[in-house]
Each structure stands twice: as structure tokens, then as C-alpha cells.
Amino acid sequence: MTVTQIIGKSLGHHYGDLWLFRGVNLHLTPGRVTALTGPSGTGKSTLLAILAGTTAPVEGSVLRDGVTGITLIAQAAYGVPSRTVLDHITLPFLASGIPRFEAEERARPIADLFGIEHLLSAPYRQLSGGEAQRLMLARASAQESELILADEPTANLDAHNARGVIAVLGGLAESGAVVVVATHDPLARAACDDVIDLADAAMHENASRSLPHQRFSTSGEAS
């Protein structure tokens, strides 16, 4: 059996003149949930896209061993407005060739896990922000990917639902996925096993980083 692991070596990225982060090294394995933290604009979403392979890093490399499926849950949840909650969760099963009846049977307990079982027949356009986000997480867990990247999954949730989401992400990690969560939320951060702080990465590797409070610095030195 192939071991699942994600290795990032000396990752660095910038869009304009300033580096968002440099020298980020990581070794991610199943069973642990890693929080990716740092102030707004430090590159959390960018690093998730680099780990997913949808953005190439300016510096460094990413090795993905034993990964056949990657799920990136975007910061803004995107569903199909006219489709129901049940349609959204069954889609990954249907896409992998599972018949509709069985796909729906498998979708129900997942909806339960995320507390949206009462909304199965509701169209996506009627969901609140937090419900839509939980639906995207439910669909992601139906995808059974080895690499799950969740961008601010608790941002629209109250503390109770946020704890539920973190617990489910922990469960996905325990069942063999590598899970990375970009988050501002102290509760989410505390519930993760490991933390990669992009504020630190920028601080240590980079004198003129593009953090909001540094943007107007003329010295070029981080203090």
C-alpha cells in the first residue's frame, strides 16, 4: 500500500513585488489536522491552492504521495442554486458510478453528521451561509479524497456548529485523509493537531513582507 504523505519543500510565493511567504517546509500525514493561520492576506488560500496543485509555487516544490483525489473546499461556498442539498451530496457518489438509490442511502448519514439532514430537499439557494458551508463539507466527505483542504470552514458558523465541523474534519483525518484547514478562528486552531503560521514564515524568511501593517514600511526591514 502506498503511504499517503504531502511534502512541501522551501515553498515561496508572490504575486507582485513582495513575497507572501518563503521557506515554508511541511510534511503532512494522515491522522492529523493541520491549521494554516496568519492574518488576512498572508497567503493561506494561496498555499492551499499550491498544495492542491492548482497554483504553481514561485519557489519550491510539492510532493503528493498516495493521493488519488484532492478536495479543496473554497472560502466562498459554491453550489448550484436550483439543486437540492441531497443532489449536492449524492453527486460525488453518482460520479463514481454508484446507483442513485445507494448514493442517497450513503448521503443521508453524511447530512446527519453536518446537521443538515432536515434540509435534504431544500434547494441550495435557500441555504444560509453556514448551511451552505456545511453542505460543501458534507459533499467533500462524500468524495473520499486523501487530501482535504478546507478554506475557513468555520467562518460562517456559530461555536456549536464550528465544533461539529472540526470534529468531522478530525474524523476524516482519522480515517486516513491528510486534512489542512486555513483559519482565523481561535477555536478551530485550538482543535487542530498542528499549526503552520504564515505570519511566522514571512517574519523569518522575508524582510519586506506584504502584511497589511507592513505595507507602508519604507525601511524594508521587518521589526
Residue 145 or 210: which CB sits closer to ligand ATP?
A: 210
Q: Which does 20 bind (CB under 5 to 8 A by kind): Mg ion, ligand ATP, none?
A: ligand ATP
CB atoms within 10 A of CB 82: 9
What cell numbers appear for 18 in the block? 513582495
Residue with cell 456559530: 158
| Footprint (CB under 5 A) of Mg ion, residues 75-114 | 75
> DSSP of 148-213, one letter per residue?
EEEESTTTT--HHHHHHHHHHHHHHHHTT-EEEEE---HHHHHHSSEEEEHHHHHHHH-SS---GG
Of 42, 45, 161, 206, the one binding Mg ion by CB under 5 A: 45
Residue 15 or 159: which CB sits closer to ligand ATP?
A: 15
Binding region for Mg ion (CB under 5 A) out of 8-16, 49-57, 68-76, 210-218: 68-76
> Shortest Cβ distance from residue 46 to ligand ATP (Å)?
3
Binding region for Mg ion (CB under 5 A) out of 42-50, 105-113, 136-144, 195-203: 42-50
* 13 vs 2: CA distance, rounded Å: 30
* 182 vs 51: CA distance, rounded Å: 12
Interface contacts to ligand ATP, rule CB under 6 A: 15, 20, 38, 40-46, 75
In the complex, which residues of this chain contact Mg ion (CB under 5 A)?
44-45, 75
